[in-house]
Structure 1
Amino acid sequence: MSDYYHHFLSSMAGVGGHPTVNQPEGSPPTQLHQAMPMAGPPISNPYQSLGYFTGFPEPIMFNAPKAQRSRRKSAPGLDHIKHRRTRSGCYTCRSRRVKCDEIHPICERCRKGKRECIYPEPAPSKGSSGLGSRDSTGQSQQTSPSSSHGGDDDDDDAGQESNLDPIMDEEDEPESATTQSSAPIFPLRRPSTTSLFGLQRVATGSRQDSETPSFERNKGSSSPSALASTANPLAPGAIHLPESPTSSARPDWSFLPHELQVYLNYFYENITHYHYCMVNDSYNFFRSILTGMAIRNEALLYAVVGFAAYHHTLKNPDGRIREFLQYYNRSVSLLLTHLKRKEKHNVATLLTILQLATIEEYLGDWVNLMGHQKAALEVLTQLFTPRTVMQSPISRMMLTWYGRFDVFIGIMGSFEASLPREWFTTSLEYYDSMAAAEPANMGWKIEAASAQLRLISMEMSHLFGKGAKQEVSEQEYIAEHRKLSNVLNGWKDGWDPALEDPAYLVTEFPNDRALDPDDIVNPFVSGTLFRPPLFASTILSCEWHSIALMHESQAVSEASEEARVALMEHAYAICQICETVEFWPHSPAGSLIILHPCLAIASLFVPRDTRHHMWIRTKFALLEGMG
């Protein structure tokens, strides 16, 4: 792994620079990252920006040219990452990217905004912390010159990392700060022979008395940074990729500390593949396989637990963001420690990076998301080839997981997807062959349709990227755009009839009611929604409408009235599906979350009146409450 990702993770240690989760009403909106304009006049969008309703940054394709500030810019693909300064300020000010005056027990900004003010726990003394120079360096912050702001810049140049004194996120604070801790992370006792997360013990389900996790609460809890040195994490390279899942049963994590068990139980019972924006999960990957691998690797474990803690906090009226922040920071610190040891990457390394990227997507930090995406690409291409990645359900899911980030970020940023085309075509060939070999298996048909749509999206990202860089002539762009339009329409018309079996259409709605004057669609119309096992067909239809919207809006020629009507029809179809999924009582958990990007695009193409405006705001308020 290049030093780029090491510096990137170091800048994130201490959870510095994350946007506030569930930002309090009345506080200023999070500043979105500005994009460079795309060549060619896009169709005018109905609203000022996509970020007007959502946490998405404005896609380049929908941006009108803007005057650029005279400051250093990152190159396409974000090879340069803005490193953020962190000190000993409270977590809330760090996450809001504002300066903290460090007044205890409540800083001035949190007091005025009536926000929860939580400071990092004090680090152990040098004589007992056990933090070596390598660990300290891992927690230091490197500041990008482009992130400096006049007199606020008190950091040395990032290139002088070797000469910098460590700047720990968890510096000593007054005793009053420690009393605010409500759910500390309990360190795992350093094992003498077999790691707490060793494969042998997990496989047998037994443990020795000497391996019992420590719960010595009265002796004081350790900060996330201190935990990185007190535990002995199992390297990702110790996990081997099985050819197929041996069991979809619930993994045994009874040997873990109680707090981790609570969140893993919550994950297993409440989180689905829809929370990860995955259309299908035939092998129960996220509930069983991912959690089973997480209990064998600490970095992945704390990433998964952090994701569960994030959702648990949102559902709990008394939830505190501190638990999520600690688990997240713990995962980042462990991953950084592993990377600094220059050990061989393996499946758990890639899964940890992908899980952290998913968290960044929920938080709306697209710069951090793209940093993880770049690292995931490096690990994925080191571990697999386009052929070998299709040999296991685990590696196939990782490819789908990464491929979604790659294509989505490429389209949003108007640059080409990073993964070569061969990876997408090989995936489609595999699923097509399996669907032909097992025609009764609905899972293969769904995967084949999804893979083809992902390939089309990848081709779109390449076209938009070339158009943005003016690498193709207008005639070539028009010809390629028309070709993709035909392929996109052919995808919907060429569906396997089994994916649209009318026997699975939802025709009854127990919560049927008279329409409200403010409704813009009727959610109780039969024929909109498929029930399981064809619920994925509903998701794919909605994604198709959103991709068609993005594609047709990028036609070079001026849109005719007929084209504008067609765009509005796609937008209404998305709104119809989202509304129906919301009101159908049997919709799977997380199914609205996977539709969030589709609704975000649709919001740009509905009429600009108060009725539609309020409907969209209501839907995104609902989605914000889901994470």
Structure 2
Amino acid sequence: MTHSYQSQTLSGFLDSMQQDEASAYSLFGPTSYPESVAFWHDPSAPAMAVAPSYTSKEASLLNPLDQKKHKRTRSGCFTCRTRRIKCDETRPLCERCRKGSRECVYPSSTSSSKGSVRTTAKSRAGRPPSQGSDSSGKYEIEAISPLDPIIDEEEPDSAISESRPSPPATTRPDLHKSQSSQSLRKRSIKHTDAGSFIKEQSSSPSAESSHFESMSARSGSIGHSTAEMISNARLPDDLRFYLNFHQEFLTTPHFFLRQSCSRFIQHSLIELALQYEPLLYALVGFSAYHHTLRSPGGKLYTFLKYYNKALILLRKSLGSGEEHSEATLCTVLVLTTFEEYIGDWMNLIDHHRAAHALMLELLTPESANVNELHTNIFLWYARFDVVVGILAGTETVLNRDWYLLKEQYDADQAAIYPDDPSKQLALVASINRRFGLDMASLYAKLSRGMVSMEQFAAQNDQLGLMIEHAKAILRTFDDYEYKVQEFPHQLPLTEDDVTDPYAPGGLHRGPLWDFNYAWIDILSTETMYRYQAMLVLGQNQLPDLQELAEEQCRLIETMDRWPHKDNGYCIMFKNSIGIASMFLPKEHKYQMWSRRKMALMEQNGYFITPRFRSALAAIWQTPEIEHWWLPNEEGYTDIIREVRALTAERLSQPRDELRENVRDMKYMFRGMNLDGREDESPSSTKSGHP
């Protein structure tokens, strides 16, 4: 890796970023964070509310949850203390343990026995095993089975915070690997006692909940225990509402992940959030963002106040010296996800770098395979790593070994379970991920003169073989049983339709639904691959590019017509719709099809960057789309205008060349003649620069 920050620790990175006075909105920006970003649309707030400097004393004053803690008795039994409920201290068996038929253990009189009993009690409560080092310096990952807290019948509102540890670290028997002590030494979560939360007076958005109940496309199989967990935590009404909205409406596509990560999104993230306040507010802010976009009269302040609070709490946590955990990393990744949604790729880089430092601290390439929580975190992080590398024309930040080991693991699993669609999809995703890694690396080397044009051409051909391998895997599941042969509720086709979405066999359903997303991703990858080869090698790829674009168009439209699609499905088109639109036939109906899909994504919260809008406007010779995608401002709501204005303000001052390149999508549009595509000579596409 050539990046200077590759080996930086998080604390070192924090110090360096705090010296950057221009980073007004970054996670680690100046020591004074401008709260005006959050409050500029709040009528009741001062015009220029600015948070004070981040000394630990002052930062605590910003946190309404930092109230005086209730004193806890230290003479109760360990069982009640572990369950975070009040013990009546009846000996030898307290009333709660007697009623629950639990073992009741009290502290003994000697300090040595206290330590022994405490260790036993924690073990019984399902806490993670000791992280001390052994002679080999390595640990086998153990499955954790936490004890669920139980609320006594006579105290329905005594609800405790869910003080469980991180979700079980699933040991996968087919890969006998161990983790280094470095990867496990900070696994413990700094638990936040949700029971100490003081309910704040707030305007609950629950009155609008009925509007969204009909929009949920999720079964209740995942959410029962999580809903109970949210209900049991003592939270202000607004936080509880948005966590429930997350549970009922948001899906894995909203987090750029696949169905295999459902438990992580619907349970693990919420469980971690109830233990770590910065993640709680980040997750609530993300949920509030999606709720606001669908609410009549929604305002920026509704979700930005939570986003702002998450930043404050996270910076306080990072500056306090407390141990970092998976919850810390997930907080940064939620913020990174939010930045991508609003199209703020420059500030996304700050979050991405912070996430990289935490990845090196908390995970290892091995744990990303054998630990379920770490696997989901890696998949979440790796996407940002690859995309930023491609957009900036640089290599990924995370070392290549992580990606290679993940692909090898997925290949082994696919070989062991050839009939398991999830294993094959995981392998295809790994191949596609490494393709992005290798493609970014190859073009970065070419730009630096590290490879000759002949070497580039040879390695570029190898990239093409990777795409064909992934497509061959997907084709093995072209099973008639799960191919849609007949659509329910078909609409009559008109001359404005760009494809026949009802063609038999054009869509996977049921357990193979994610194969549709996988095909779109691979086709999008191939489009980018051929487009870049055309620019660099002077090959006329336009016929192939148009064919690929039309196939993506067909698949996207077919998924759009399917009545059983999941919430947020259109977000998964983000990598495809933009580049496919560049190469669809230059007919008005194709252009309007693309514009409707772009508008749909923005209405669902995923904003197309201004740079891409201007590039597409030049290609289509339709300058009006720089203002809005549809004629007569159809669907152009006030909240969309406000989010766009916010993003434009944040993108106005890039701090360095990397951020400027990402903002301008330099790699994607370099060498492209944006005056139009009438001249189909490949050499002509190399002459201009946007």
TM-score by length of 1: 0.67
Q: Match for 1:213 among 163, 182, 197?
A: 197
Aligned to 2:455: 476
Cα shift at 1:366: 0.3
Aligned to 2:218: none
Cα shift at 1:384: 2.0
Cα contact 1:90–1:119 (8 A) shared by 2? no
Cα shift at 1:463: 1.0
C-alpha change, 1:541 and 1:420, in structure 2 (3 Å) is: same
Cα contact 1:299–1:352 (8 A) shared by 2? yes
Query: For the residues of structure 1 that align with 2:159 and 2:587, how far apart are their CA atoms?
Result: 67
Q: Find the residue that maps to 1:620 and give its secondary structure.
A: helix
Aligned to 1:548: 526
Q: Match for 2:286 among 302, 307, 316?
A: 307
Q: Which amino acid aligns with 2:539?
A: A
Query: For the residues of structure 1 that align with 2:460 and 2:556, how far apart are their CA atoms?
Result: 28
Cα contact 1:354–1:372 (8 A) shared by 2? yes
Query: For the residues of structure 2 that align with 1:579 and 1:186, how far apart are their CA atoms?
Result: 47
Q: Which amino acid aligns with 1:450?
A: A
Query: For the residues of structure 1 that align with 2:318 and 2:424, how far apart are their CA atoms?
Result: 39
C-alpha change, 1:609 and 1:336, in structure 2 (3 Å) is: same
Cα contact 2:227–2:244 (8 A) shared by 1? no
Aligned residue runs from structure 1 range 454-603, under 5 A? 454-495=433-474, 497=476, 499-555=477-533, 556-560=536-540, 563-603=541-581
Q: Match for 2:585 among 607, 616, 619?
A: 607
Deviations 1:264-306 (A, max 9, x none): 1110111111111113325511011111111111011111111
**Is 1:204 aligned to residue 181 of structure 2?**
no
Query: For the residues of structure 1 that align with 2:543 and 2:584, how far apart are their CA atoms?
Result: 10
Query: For the residues of structure 2 that align with 1:520 and 1:397, how far apart are their CA atoms?
Result: 37
Q: Find the residue that maps to 2:229 and give its secondary structure.
A: coil
Aligned to 2:251: 272
Q: Find the residue that maps to 2:296 and give its secondary structure.
A: coil
C-alpha change, 1:529 and 1:489, in structure 2 (3 Å) is: same
Q: Which amino acid aligns with 2:538?
A: E
Q: Find the residue that maps to 2:510 and give its secondary structure.
A: coil
**Is 1:334 aligned to residue 318 of structure 2?**
no
C-alpha change, 1:413 and 1:606, in structure 2 (3 Å) is: same
C-alpha change, 1:251 and 1:121, in structure 2 (3 Å) is: farther
Cα shift at 1:430: 1.7
Q: Match for 2:69 among 180, 186, 191?
A: 191
Q: Which amino acid aligns with 2:507?
A: L
Q: Find the residue that maps to 1:500 and give its secondary structure.
A: coil
> What are structure 2's unaligned runs of at least 5 residues?
1-9, 74-80, 85-146, 152-157, 161-192, 205-221, 606-690
Instruction: Give the aligned CA root-mean-square deviation in angstroms.
Output: 3.8
C-alpha change, 1:426 and 1:248, in structure 2 (3 Å) is: farther
Q: Find the residue that maps to 1:447 and give its secondary structure.
A: helix
**Could you say which structure has the larger radius of gyration?**
2
Cα shift at 1:391: 1.7
Query: For the residues of structure 1 that align with 2:12 and 2:599, how far apart are their CA atoms?
Result: 39
Query: For the residues of structure 1 that align with 2:223 and 2:289, how far apart are their CA atoms?
Result: 29
Query: For the residues of structure 1 that align with 2:345 and 2:510, how far apart are their CA atoms?
Result: 33
Query: For the residues of structure 2 that align with 1:626 and 1:259, how far apart are their CA atoms?
Result: 22
C-alpha change, 1:532 and 1:248, in structure 2 (3 Å) is: farther
Q: Which amino acid aligns with 1:434?
A: Q
Query: For the residues of structure 1 that align with 2:408 and 2:326, how far apart are their CA atoms?
Result: 24
Cα contact 1:6–1:339 (8 A) shared by 2? no
Aligned residue runs from structure 1 range 421-440, under 5 A? 421-440=400-419
Aligned to 1:119: 45
Q: Which amino acid aligns with 1:284?
A: R
Q: Which amino acid aligns with 2:537?
A: S
Query: For the residues of structure 2 that align with 1:87 and 1:295, how far apart are their CA atoms?
Result: 27
Query: For the residues of structure 2 that align with 1:6 and 1:314, how far apart are their CA atoms?
Result: 36
Aligned to 1:252: 229
Query: For the residues of structure 1 that align with 2:37 and 2:399, how far apart are their CA atoms?
Result: 43
Q: Which amino acid aligns with 1:119?
A: A
Cα shift at 1:444: 2.0
Cα shift at 1:91: 4.5
Cα shift at 1:214: 2.3
Deviations 1:301-352 (A, max 9, x none): 1111111100111111133321210111111111101111233321111111
Q: Match for 2:344 among 361, 365, 370?
A: 365
Cα shift at 1:253: 1.8
C-alpha change, 1:305 and 1:92, in structure 2 (3 Å) is: closer
C-alpha change, 1:432 and 1:187, in structure 2 (3 Å) is: same
Aligned to 1:385: 364
Query: For the residues of structure 1 that align with 2:405 and 2:224, how far apart are their CA atoms?
Result: 27
Cα contact 2:483–2:508 (8 A) shared by 1? yes
Cα shift at 1:137: 7.5
Query: For the residues of structure 1 that align with 2:414 and 2:363, how far apart are their CA atoms?
Result: 23
Cα contact 2:282–2:310 (8 A) shared by 1? yes
Query: For the residues of structure 2 that align with 1:188 and 1:121, how far apart are their CA atoms?
Result: 26
Cα contact 2:37–2:304 (8 A) shared by 1? no
Query: For the residues of structure 1 that align with 2:71 and 2:410, how far apart are their CA atoms?
Result: 44
Cα shift at 1:485: 0.9
Cα contact 2:35–2:308 (8 A) shared by 1? no
Cα contact 1:463–1:477 (8 A) shared by 2? yes
Q: Match for 2:241 among 248, 262, 265?
A: 262
Query: For the residues of structure 1 that align with 2:57 and 2:67, how far apart are their CA atoms?
Result: 21
**Is 1:134 aligned to residue 44 of structure 2?**
no
Q: Which amino acid aligns with 1:543?
A: D
Cα shift at 1:517: 2.3
Q: Find the residue that maps to 1:252 and give its secondary structure.
A: helix
Q: Find the residue that maps to 1:284 and give its secondary structure.
A: helix
Cα contact 1:361–1:369 (8 A) shared by 2? yes
**Is 1:400 aligned to residue 360 of structure 2?**
no
Aligned residue runs from structure 1 range 335-350, under 5 A? 335-350=314-329
Cα shift at 1:212: 5.4
Cα shift at 1:440: 4.9
Cα contact 1:529–1:577 (8 A) shared by 2? yes
Query: For the residues of structure 2 that align with 1:437 and 1:380, how far apart are their CA atoms?
Result: 29
Q: Which amino acid aligns with 1:213?
A: F
Q: How many residue pairs align between the two structures?
A: 467
C-alpha change, 1:246 and 1:520, in structure 2 (3 Å) is: closer
Q: Find the residue that maps to 1:464 and give its secondary structure.
A: helix
C-alpha change, 1:513 and 1:491, in structure 2 (3 Å) is: same
Cα contact 2:39–2:305 (8 A) shared by 1? no
Cα contact 1:16–1:84 (8 A) shared by 2? no
Q: Find the residue that maps to 1:343 and give its secondary structure.
A: coil
C-alpha change, 1:482 and 1:293, in structure 2 (3 Å) is: same
TM-score by length of 2: 0.61
Cα shift at 1:490: 2.3
Same amino acid, percent of matched pairs: 29
